[in-house]
Amino acid sequence: LALTLGTGFGSTFIDRNEIILNRNDVPPGGMLWNYPYDQQSIADEWFSTRGLMNIYKQILREEAHEVSDQLANTIDGRILAERASNDDAKAKKAFARFAELLGDFLIPHLTKFQADILIIGGGITHAYYLIEEQLTKTIGETLSIPIYFSLSHEKSICLGAVYQQMPSLFTTKPKIVRQTPQNLLPVIKTLDTHSYDIYPCHEIPIGYIGIGHKQLHEKLLQLIEQNQILLIDGFVGTHFDEFACELNKSYHQQAKKLNRPSLVFYDARAFLQVDSDEKRSSYLKSSKSIFGKLATDLKFKDDFIDENKLVYLQNNLSYPCVIIGPGASFVHDSAPLIYIDLPKNELYYRVAAQTACSYLKPQKREIQPINSIDTDDYELTPGMYEQKCLYFLDYPVFNELKQKLLPRMSFFVDGQRPYCPTWLDGETFRQSLAHLANVPIRVRPWFEPGPWGGQWLKSVCTNISQYPKNYAWSFEMITPENGIILSDSNFHLVEFSWDLFYGSQSNRVLGNDTHCRLFNGINDFPIRFDFLDTIDGGNLSIQCHPNLQYMRSNFRERITQDETYYILETKQHWKNDEQSSACVYLGFQENVDSEEFHEALLHSRRHAQELNVEKYIQCLPSKIHDFFLIPNETIHASGRNQVVLEISATPYTYTFKLYDWLRLGLDGRLRPLNIEHGMKNLKFDRRGEQLRCQPKLLKTEIGQYQEEHLPTHELHFYDVYRLRIEPNESIQVVRSTENRFHLCMLVEGDAIEIEFDSIDNQQHKEVRQYNYIETFLIPASIQEYRIRPIIKQGQGREFVLITAFLKWDCEKLLE
């Protein structure tokens, strides 16, 4: 319950960010001012400045039999507060009686509404210290409820009053912000990068990167002084309360020195819709499935903002003010805008710690019972449900909003480090994005353990946390999940999400018109690289991926999850272990009956019995540098004791698990199987050896290098080349991008050097160096680049570079 006490008596009942006007636990219209009081009057006559003065006059009459009305009328609320502050007994008694009567009046309303907090703003809170003790005592005799006073005084409408006090609630119960063994991105880069670099940086062309709230607030307070209004918007998962609290502290310190008015904060979440559960739930589909439908047709303003609430706020702003929260940018078209971004991996760590959640999920989660073990129904954990809502609802909507706000950003803030943001001004940020489109790019990778995870990534990528028992995945370049790190000349770091870069620079990345037409959407970068590590781990689940039409009609993705496996390492090769072997499960055996296979899968799930996998699925021996093709509808799995580089279409979440070896996930539960989805997406005539790539030699320069084509399947819209370079640093290989991007990785050798012409000065050569297994992107804007091997360990092994790119005729595959 929020109150304003001043010239009048205002009230607002708020439940889950919605103002309650008509409900059986609040008075009509949510209004207390006209509520009957003292038989012959209403509450407004008592709980206002007018009521306070009447109480004072009554006390004067009680204690001094002769009172001049003229004398009493010369005293107003401010003078009365001054007298009470100077220990005037009658004035102090007036405030105490006012507080007691107010408490008695509020108790039944607080009880009926089951209020969690009482917040009081308005002019009388100039003298809050004169009523706080008695009000707390009176209410405390009946209810245990915290009472807070908003010091924005008469400038507070209820919405602002509520938000003003929210940070103090959160600071009273500190939480672990993120649940993960991984380190936060450092503020300043100090790690050695002579081997695999977990914090790849790109230096900004101008300006600097700022560090911390204090330095940022110097800029923001200037904007507030100049404009009287500041908008702070941001990505889902941002801890807006931290930013509001810290900014309020800084402003308050300055305001005291300069005698400035208080700053009013408004929470943008208050004008989000709360009555659109049916629409939101339609994108989540079944509550018993991990899959939903992308909300790519929804717009933040049209579909998630209550227009009436927004207009009400716009018409009732008090200045100076800050509007903060998701959607704050809609309150004013031209006010300075701060945008706070959050990397996806950090968002997941916050979800795991229960300090972040989906903003756009339905208000009520519908949980349906699991009716049969013969269905794909699965009880989602709270964390799984949050990630589902984020992927299908929040990401499409917030990514589009973020892109639209890019030209308006006065400052861009990296909000991943609690109480230590890094940031840069909007113009520097936009120029940095444009600069990035003309140089090689390496996104920030991140790593996750899994039930089948191995030990190779921990050994090779030594700067990642060694605490997890294994690592199953490395998100090398899965663009919906990765960020890009910028640095300045002092190695200060700021990270932003890939979509901000790609949405503004996709034409420079893609190059030719055909590829731009197909893949220039914010989330449409088409190829991903990631690692699957099973060395000393287990087999992946037996799985398949949906065909294109199934993907589009069921999940609203534009492309489907075609994959390839490049065998990067095996335990036999890595450890020189002749007793070890590796394989890839790929394609069906001859004459497998689909109904029999379906029944075998169901029987295994029903009775928790092992499936005779090799009765149905071929097991192909694998060795380092083998390349396997996995178009959609192909049954497959990586076997244990190898590291796979997945070179695949970007979608990554649509894995239909058919059999998972009866093992438990990291949460101690069986992982969800998707047998029914999978059976609709299987080609039983796909055979394993048909899907083992046969390299074709393209070019040989004796004593220098050899270039091979690794042909992909006819359904793949991308192709792969392999360059084998002799270990000689004097060798230089010249490559042309042909107006399309190259996605590259050194899969054998120490490091390579990439030289290219500066976009600003063709006479100036720029150089980048990439270590073993580091993924990097050569945008189409770089017409030609030169490759040179870098020998660090004095070994005589060859250097092997993998390059993936889009086929020229990929359009016909996506019709």
SS (H, E, C) 549-567: HHHHHHHCCCCCCCEEEEE
Contacts of 549 (CB under 8 A, 6+ apart): none
Please identify which residue in the block is written with the tokens 């709980």: 47
**Contact (CB, 8 A) for 158 and 2:** yes
User: What mean pLDDT is predicted for residues 788-795?
Assistant: 87
Q: What are the pLDDT digits (tens) for 185-239? A: 999 998 877 899 999 999 999 999 999 999 999 999 999 999 999 999 999 999 9
Q: Report the candidate in 600, 530, 529, 535 with the shortest Cα–Cα distance to residue 573.
A: 535
Burial of 42 (0-12, 13-18, 19+ CB in 10 A): middle
Please identify which residue in the block is written with the tokens 């339905």: 362
* Model pLDDT, residue 175: 65
* Model pLDDT, residue 73: 61
Residue 739's identity, in one-letter code, is: N
DSSP string, 628-681: EEE-TT--EEE-SSEEEEEEEES--S--EEEE-TT-B-TTSSBPPP-HHHHHTT
* Model pLDDT, residue 172: 44
Coil/strand/helix, residue 602? helix
Question: 273 φ, ψ to 5°?
Answer: -65, 145
Torsion-angle region of 325 (φ positive above 0: left; ψ -120 to 50: alpha; else: beta): left
* Model pLDDT, residue 663: 96
pLDDT at 174 exceeding the cut of 70: no
- Band of residue 599 on the pLDDT scale cut at 50, 70, 90: very high
Distance in angstroms (rounded) separating the CA atoms of residues 342 and 238? 6
Distance in angstroms (rounded) separating the CA atoms of residues 510 and 778? 10
User: What mean pLDDT is predicted for residues 443-459?
Assistant: 97
* Model pLDDT, residue 522: 85
Residue 155's identity, in one-letter code, is: K
Alpha carbon separation from 147 to 2, 103, 162, 589 (Å, rounded): 10, 11, 11, 71
* Model pLDDT, residue 72: 56
Alpha carbon separation from 730 to 212, 440, 701, 755, 762 (Å, rounded): 46, 22, 14, 14, 23
Pairing mode, if any, of strands 36-37 and 799-806? Answer: unpaired
* Model pLDDT, residue 171: 46
Coil/strand/helix, residue 767? strand
Question: 384 φ, ψ to 5°?
Answer: -65, -40
Cβ–Cβ contacts within 10 Å for residue 40, how many? Answer: 7
Range among 29-38, 58-67, 140-149, 730-739 with highest mean pLDDT value = 730-739
Contacts of 226 (CB under 8 A, 6+ apart): none
Average of per-residue pLDDT values in the chain: 92
Report which of residues 219 and 147 the model is more confident about. 219
User: For the chain, how many helices (H) and strands (E)?
Assistant: 24, 38
Coil/strand/helix, residue 603? helix
Coil/strand/helix, residue 718? strand
Distance in angstroms (rounded) separating the CA atoms of residues 429 and 433? 6
**Contact (CB, 8 A) for 644 and 473:** no
- Band of residue 530 on the pLDDT scale cut at 50, 70, 90: very high
Range among 88-97, 156-165, 339-348 with highest mean pLDDT value = 339-348
Print the SS3 string covering 380-433: CCHHHHHHHHHHHHHHHHHHHHHHHHHHHEEEEEECCCCCCCEEEEHHHHHHHH
Q: What are the pLDDT digits (tens) for 693-749? A: 999 999 999 999 999 999 999 999 999 999 999 999 999 999 999 999 999 999 999
Q: Report the candidate in 781, 133, 111, 784 with the shortest Cα–Cα distance to residue 507.
A: 781
Distance in angstroms (rounded) separating the CA atoms of residues 359 and 326? 8
- Band of residue 96 on the pLDDT scale cut at 50, 70, 90: very high
Please identify which residue in the block is written with the tokens 């949050």: 386
* Model pLDDT, residue 161: 46
The token pair that represents 40 in the structure block = 């012959």
- Band of residue 756 on the pLDDT scale cut at 50, 70, 90: very high
* Model pLDDT, residue 260: 85
**Contact (CB, 8 A) for 526 and 806:** yes
| Alpha helices, DSSP H, located in 228-353 | 240-258, 277-284, 300-304, 307-315, 344-352
Q: What are the pLDDT digits (tens) for 247-286? A: 999 998 888 888 888 899 999 988 888 777 888 999 999 8
* Model pLDDT, residue 277: 82
Computed over its alpha carbons, how large is the radius of gyration of the chain?
A: 32
**Contact (CB, 8 A) for 350 and 182:** no
Alpha carbon separation from 772 to 180, 755, 794 (Å, rounded): 26, 17, 15
* Model pLDDT, residue 724: 98
Please identify which residue in the block is written with the tokens 């192709």: 719
Report which of residues 277 and 422 the model is more confident about. 422
Range among 24-33, 91-100, 169-178, 422-431 with highest mean pLDDT value = 422-431
User: What mean pLDDT is predicted for residues 772-789?
Assistant: 98
Q: Report the candidate in 83, 127, 121, 139 with the shortest Cα–Cα distance to residue 5.
A: 121
**Contact (CB, 8 A) for 38 and 22:** no
Distance in angstroms (rounded) separating the CA atoms of residues 801 and 573? 19
Q: What are the pLDDT digits (tens) for 291-333? A: 999 999 999 999 999 998 899 889 989 899 999 999 999 999 9
Question: Which of 15-19, 662-666, 805-809 has the lowest average pLDDT?
Answer: 15-19
Question: 559 φ, ψ to 5°?
Answer: -125, 160
Q: Reading across the β-sheet that carries 210-211, which strands appear in turn?
A: 210-211, 422-425, 409-414, 337-341, 229-234, 321-324, 264-267
Q: Report the candidate in 181, 184, 113, 188 with the shortest Cα–Cα distance to residue 143.
A: 113
Pairing mode, if any, of strands 483-487 and 473-477? Answer: unpaired
pLDDT at 46 exceeding the cut of 90: yes
Q: Tell whether omega for the bond before 320 is within 30 degrees of 0, i.e. cis.
A: yes
Question: 461 φ, ψ to 5°?
Answer: -95, 80
Contacts of 27 (CB under 8 A, 6+ apart): 35, 109
Residue 564's identity, in one-letter code, is: T
User: What mean pLDDT is predicted for residues 3-18?
Assistant: 86
Coil/strand/helix, residue 277? helix
- Beta-ladder partners of 743: 777, 804
Contacts of 466 (CB under 8 A, 6+ apart): 458
Residue 733 parent element (H or E):
strand 733-736
pLDDT at 170 exceeding the cut of 50: no
Angle at 512 between CA 510 and CA 513, to 5 degrees: 110
* Model pLDDT, residue 155: 45
Residue 234 parent element (H or E):
strand 229-234
* Model pLDDT, residue 216: 97
Task: Sketch out the chain's domains with CATH numbers.
Answer: 2-172 (3.30.420.40), 210-356+376-427 (3.40.50), 534-692 (2.60.120.10), 694-815 (2.60.120.10)
Coil/strand/helix, residue 570? strand
Buried b (16+ CB within 10 A) or exposed e, 216-248: bbeebbebbeebebbbbbbbbbbbbbbbbbbbb
Please identify which residue in the block is written with the tokens 């400038």: 155
